[in-house]
Structure 1
Amino acid sequence: MLLRTFQLSDYAPVTELLAEVLTESCYDETIGALARQLKWDSDLVTVAEADEQIVGIIIGTIDNNKGYYYRIAVGQAYQRRGIGKALVENLKQKFVQRKVSRILVTADPHNEPILPLYESLGYRATDFLRSFSKLSIMNG
């Protein structure tokens, strides 16, 4: 398995991977976030390659000197092989190199099922950033 920074030629296989793994609403959100992150800092988007194809991706971002794991996806045929953990560790090293003050996990409803992955890597509930922006729709 090879981990490397996202390249423009990865766009089609990455969107196929995301469509395979994510729900439709999560896919739509993630594609928008991916596009924004690629404009801001493509180095924080890492892909995993195996068998000459893209089998995983992690999207991170830095905001106010904090590093955030935004979204991770691993192809169904490649899950439970350590690829997700390797992607998290790779991005963590990028955050450490950039001397972020804290690393957080975006814990939106789409990420809830994979929070145990982060817990297995030593992250705690206090490291999970839960966004309640959806609540503002109900009040407005």
Structure 2
Amino acid sequence: MKVRSFQLSDYQLVTGLLEMVLSEECYEQTMEAFARQLSWDSELVLVAVEESEVVGIMIGTIDNNKGYYYRIAVHPHHQRQGIGKALIQSLRQRFEQRNVMKIMITADEHNEPILPLYESLGYAATDFFRSFQKLSIVAG
């Protein structure tokens, strides 16, 4: 499994993965944020690839010197295999390379079920960013 930056050729596979994994409401919010992040900084959109198949995606953003983990999705057949952790660690490295002062986890209702994943990597409740604002507003 390899983690790399999103490429335009990944678009169809990524949108299919997001549609499969996320609820309809979450998918719509995520697609809006995904498009905005690609226009701002596509290096913060990561994909996990296994045998030319996109098995995971992570969308991050930077705002006011803070890095935000916005959304993560892993194909159901590939969950609990370390892909989510690899995506988080890869995005963390990118944040650190850019001298981000603090990393936050967007803790909206769609991310609540995976907050224990972040906790297993050493993040605490104080790292969770709870807001009713969408990424497009937060990082605008």
TM band (smaller chain): over 0.9
Unaligned runs of 5+ in 1: 135-140
Across the two proteins, how many residue pairs are aligned to each other? 134
Structure whose alpha-carbon radius of gyration is higher: 1
Q: Which residue does the alignment assign to 1:64? A: 64
Once superposed, which parts of structure 1, at least 4 consecutive aligned residues long, lie more than 3 Å away? Answer: none
Q: Which residue does the alignment assign to 2:125? A: 125
AA of the residue aligned to 2:53: Q
Higher relative contact order (CA 8 A, sep 6+): 2
Q: Normalising to structure 2: TM-score of the pair?
A: 0.94
Q: Which residue does the alignment assign to 1:21? A: 21
- In angstroms, what is the RMSD of aligned CA positions? 1.0
1:5-46: CA deviation from partner (whole Å, max 9, x where unpaired): 000010000000001100000000000000000000000000
Q: What is the correspondence of 1:18-57 to structure 2 with a 5 Å cutoff?
A: 18-57=18-57
1:47-70: CA deviation from partner (whole Å, max 9, x where unpaired): 000122000000000000000000
Helix, strand or coil at the partner of 1:55? strand
Cα distance in 2 for partners of 1:119, 1:101 equals 19
Give the % identical residues. Answer: 66
Cα distance in 2 for partners of 1:3, 1:69 equals 16
Q: Which residue does the alignment assign to 1:138? A: none
Unaligned runs of 5+ in 2: 135-140
